[in-house]
Structure 1
Amino acid sequence: MTAPGVTGPHGSVTGVRIWDGERDLGVGTVRWADGLITEVTPGGGPETGLSLVPGLVDTHVHLLGFAGGRDRVKGFDTFSWPLVTEVQEQALHGAANAQRAMRAGVTTLRDLGADETQAGIARVFDGDILHGPRLLASGPVGMTAGHLDLFTPRAVKDRPPTADGPDACRALVRRWARAGLTGIKIYSSGGVLSMGDKVGWRNHTRAELAATVDEAHALGMRVACHTHSAEGIDIALAEGVDSIEHGTGLTAEQAARMAGGPVTIAPTLLINDMIARAEVPVSAEAQEIAAALMEHRDTALREAAAAGVPFVLGTDANGYFLEFGDQWRELVRMVEVLGYGPEQALRAGTSVAARALGLESVTGSVRPGLGADLVLMRGRPWERAADLRVEDVAAVVCRGRLASGALPG
């Protein structure tokens, strides 16, 4: 029998205030074995003053970025670093970024620009070769001269794959499925950081998008759609995507259609704030695009949240602009922009986000049978937005093993 507080395949914490992903359960005890929660019970010893919440679920990240932190990029920007860094080295940075997120309390990630590299990292974590968070890898299906393609300078010949025509789109979906990826990312507008891009530009025809979504769903893969424009959101909803990424051009009519439905929005608030204010090194073009989007975004998204549109945590973190651990800051920004209370924001980053990824029977809540992905915190973050801070993370358990800090007892 493992002693209380030990974190290997078996462990427990007692005397902590439990928030289970939906509500405050009061002070109690949580036990786990073989990576799964086995018991959630009231009482069980003197209070420690700590709170326990589920690990965060970030539905939109990019792991293959420089993992040394913003202050150590040594002149590499988000465009040039992938071009001068071997993919084998990038994979190590990706694993390091994921582990950094885990130690900060983000125990599930979805990479929305993945290829065989991130799928391999996910298998290494799943096989417990390295201790890492739950990782879903979604492969991009973009067109030549589309938002994705415009991240690579035009003179570079060795480019990420694109797909032109419905058959090519289906073929790329199948490639990602064969490689072990679990989702697909599409584009129905231009973007902010891509070079020479325009938000209003069409990305893929309706026939191409329809073929991509159909093929992905036929293979059991969820489809996330990057879009900043109202037209792009209309197209995404019409084609049956599972989530909207960014969604800055959302209209009131679209919000009414989405209210209470299954399609979620990951608003990626902080990164667009940072670009619009040039708080990070960006081109004047990117700053101008982001600033124009900001004129509409906050009011539109706040009204959509009030109407019942489901929002989830999605940061667009890549370690260069947003670092891994900034997910807590994104939750605070959701409180400020969307008008959420702290509990609603925490749901958006745990149980609601897990459900959006189809992981509600795996993680995102504290209940028996789910994975032991747990964060012990000082304060009560579901009551006070000021407690939604990475600095208040006292310990993290991921897949039943201690990832950072120390447990009481």
Structure 2
Amino acid sequence: MSTTPANSIDGIAVWNGHEALGTSTLSWAGDAILAVEPSTADSAALAEYSIIPGLVDTHVHISGYAGTRTVDWSSWPIVTPAEEKTLHIAANARKAASMGITTLRDLAGDENQMAVARVFDEGILPGPRLLVSGQVGMTAGHGDLFVPPHYPVRDRLADSPDECRKLVRHWARAGATGIKIYLSGGVLSIGDKVGWRNQTLEEIRTTIDEAHALGLPVAAHTHSAEGVEIALAEGVDSIEHGTGVSSKHWAELVEKNIPVAPTLMINNFIADGTVSFSEEAQQKAKQVVAERDAGFVGAGAAGVRFVLGTDANGKFVVFGDQYEEIRMMAETFEWTAERALVAATSDAADVVGMAAKVGTLAEGFGADFIVIKGRPWENIDDMRVENIVAVVSRGVVVSGELPS
């Protein structure tokens, strides 16, 4: 009977997702951490390195084109067969893992992402941990308006409480790990208005009720104050983007411990022209950024639970930009470096329902970690892609080389 050989790194500084442990020995076998123990080894050889948990991005979209040629980002998903898209999904997920983002939650996935997630979980292909939330949106809503108006093939939509309940049940049967809803319009959807309400209160309540009855958390997209208030009143499990959050919401957000994924970079990039978009999208992004920034001032100090969520899709925000997002979160919310890392590891893991498996380096947890130059929990500027030495995902080195 074969056993998985044990591996270890001895004499290296470890931050375990909550606190610094000092010079330690990290041991693992397959996808299981065996121990994180104080080290008696001479730490001089590895003094410039440290280990942190693999990152958890609570808001990604990985179904886009994964190659190097130039394609139209909006039409490619529409005209590409599902069989082909699954390979791009797997490639994008593996790119993310190679950058140290070892757990991903796709918000608005479908059977394609779910198939890839199962393939990774069963070890058929190496890949990160992938969670998939199915979307429940309306005709002419943010989730619908990425498809041209007269194109007949559209994603599933729900335009009554009964249709909402049925669509939640469909996603549960398909294997979704969560549900995504829309409480406002969006930036990149075509012909959309940011302030549009999406769905009726009865439809929203029905979706949340059915999702919770089936054990599925609900993530709510919103770019409006009305959307934030609906999210708080109706009991969603996370708020995505959070435009419209203001000081009047802080106490309730803190009391209910509702996480907010602020997706700072993508809206900044669209607003300032870092990524090229239509004039319509850029103007919407400028509106979103102005309202968001005004509402976020002081929110971090007030204790609002912001977590890593980037909207990364490999094009506008690429896999690896998470490091800059974390640095931006620390600056925006006036956090310590350690607080920012918690938001990207152990707390983000809790938001996606994986707190017992990832985001923490301790005996019995999954073997996901990053070997990095510096001490990013002390100096957030060390949190950079160019400082990555090696990435271990599910116990396997997927990028770089482990220091000897």
What is the TM-score normalised by the length of structure 1? 0.95
1:249 aligned residue (227, 244, 253): 244
Q: Structure 2: how far apart are the matches of 1:343 and 1:100?
A: 26
Please state how far the C-alpha of 1:199 moved relative to its aligned partner: 1.1
Tell me, yes or no, if the aligned pair for 1:122 and 1:136 is still in contact at 8 Å.
Answer: yes
* CA deviations over 1:102-133 (Å, ceiling 9, x no partner): 01101000000100000000000000111111
Q: Do structure 1's residue 27 and structure 2's residue 23 form an aligned pair?
A: yes
* CA deviations over 1:68-98 (Å, ceiling 9, x no partner): 3xxx452x23211112222111111111110
Tell me, yes or no, if the aligned pair for 1:260 and 1:308 is still in contact at 8 Å.
Answer: no
Please state how far the C-alpha of 1:405 moved relative to its aligned partner: 1.2
Q: Which residue of 1 aligns with 2:59?
A: 60
The code of the aligned residue for 2:276 comes to: P
Greater mean alpha carbon deviation, residues 327-336 or residues 131-140: 327-336
Tell me, yes or no, if the aligned pair for 1:10 and 1:35 is still in contact at 8 Å.
Answer: no
Q: Secondary structure at the match of 1:129?
A: coil
Please state how far the C-alpha of 1:177 moved relative to its aligned partner: 0.7
Q: Do structure 1's residue 191 and structure 2's residue 189 form an aligned pair?
A: no
Tell me, yes or no, if the aligned pair for 1:260 and 1:310 is still in contact at 8 Å.
Answer: no
Please state how far the C-alpha of 1:312 moved relative to its aligned partner: 0.4
Please state how far the C-alpha of 1:297 moved relative to its aligned partner: 1.6
Q: Please show how residues 235-274 of structure 1 align to structure 2 within 5 Å.
A: 235-274=230-269
Q: Secondary structure at the match of 2:26?
A: strand
Q: Structure 2: how far apart are the matches of 1:82 and 1:155?
A: 16
Tell me, yes or no, if the aligned pair for 2:134 and 2:178 is still in contact at 8 Å.
Answer: yes
Q: Which residue of 2 aligns with 1:209?
A: 204
Q: Structure 2: how far apart are the matches of 1:261 and 1:41?
A: 36
When residues 73 and 188 of structure 1 are mapped into structure 2, their CA distance, relative to the original with a 3 A threshold, is farther
Please state how far the C-alpha of 1:302 moved relative to its aligned partner: 3.1
When residues 403 and 280 of structure 1 are mapped into structure 2, their CA distance, relative to the original with a 3 A threshold, is same
The code of the aligned residue for 2:24 comes to: G
**Structure 2 gap ranges (5+):** none
Tell me, yes or no, if the aligned pair for 2:246 and 2:294 is still in contact at 8 Å.
Answer: no
Q: Which residue of 1 aligns with 2:35?
A: 39
Tell me, yes or no, if the aligned pair for 1:101 and 1:324 is still in contact at 8 Å.
Answer: yes
The code of the aligned residue for 2:8 comes to: S
Please state how far the C-alpha of 1:261 moved relative to its aligned partner: 3.2
**Structure 1 gap ranges (5+):** 3-7
* CA deviations over 1:108-165 (Å, ceiling 9, x no partner): 0000010000000000000011111111000000000101101111121011010010
Q: Do structure 1's residue 230 and structure 2's residue 225 form an aligned pair?
A: yes
Tell me, yes or no, if the aligned pair for 1:119 and 1:180 is still in contact at 8 Å.
Answer: yes
Q: Structure 2: how far apart are the matches of 1:45 and 1:376?
A: 18
The code of the aligned residue for 1:39 comes to: A
2:346 aligned residue (333, 351, 367): 351
Please state how far the C-alpha of 1:58 moved relative to its aligned partner: 0.1
Q: Structure 2: how far apart are the matches of 1:339 and 1:165?
A: 43
Q: Structure 1: how far apart are the matches of 2:98 and 2:333?
A: 27
Tell me, yes or no, if the aligned pair for 2:259 and 2:304 is still in contact at 8 Å.
Answer: yes
Q: Secondary structure at the match of 1:259?
A: helix
Please state how far the C-alpha of 1:336 moved relative to its aligned partner: 2.1
Greater mean alpha carbon deviation, residues 176-185 or residues 396-405: 396-405
Q: Do structure 1's residue 361 and structure 2's residue 356 form an aligned pair?
A: yes
Tell me, yes or no, if the aligned pair for 1:10 and 1:400 is still in contact at 8 Å.
Answer: no
Tell me, yes or no, if the aligned pair for 1:21 and 1:364 is still in contact at 8 Å.
Answer: yes
Q: Please show how residues 9-408 of structure 1 align to structure 2 within 5 Å.
A: 10-47=6-43, 48-49=46-47, 50-68=49-67, 72-74=68-70, 76-408=71-403
Please state how far the C-alpha of 1:44 moved relative to its aligned partner: 4.1
Please state how far the C-alpha of 1:326 moved relative to its aligned partner: 1.0
**Percent sequence identity over matched residues?**
54
The code of the aligned residue for 1:325 comes to: G
Tell me, yes or no, if the aligned pair for 1:260 and 1:309 is still in contact at 8 Å.
Answer: no
Query: How many residue pairs end up in the alignment?
Result: 399
The code of the aligned residue for 1:23 comes to: E
When residues 9 and 61 of structure 1 are mapped into structure 2, their CA distance, relative to the original with a 3 A threshold, is farther
Q: Structure 2: how far apart are the matches of 1:266 and 1:188?
A: 15
What is the TM-score normalised by the length of structure 2? 0.96
The code of the aligned residue for 2:135 comes to: P
Tell me, yes or no, if the aligned pair for 2:99 and 2:385 is still in contact at 8 Å.
Answer: yes
The code of the aligned residue for 2:291 comes to: H
Q: Structure 2: how far apart are the matches of 1:168 and 1:9?
A: 51
Q: Secondary structure at the match of 1:256?
A: helix
Please state how far the C-alpha of 1:284 moved relative to its aligned partner: 0.4
When residues 311 and 161 of structure 1 are mapped into structure 2, their CA distance, relative to the original with a 3 A threshold, is same
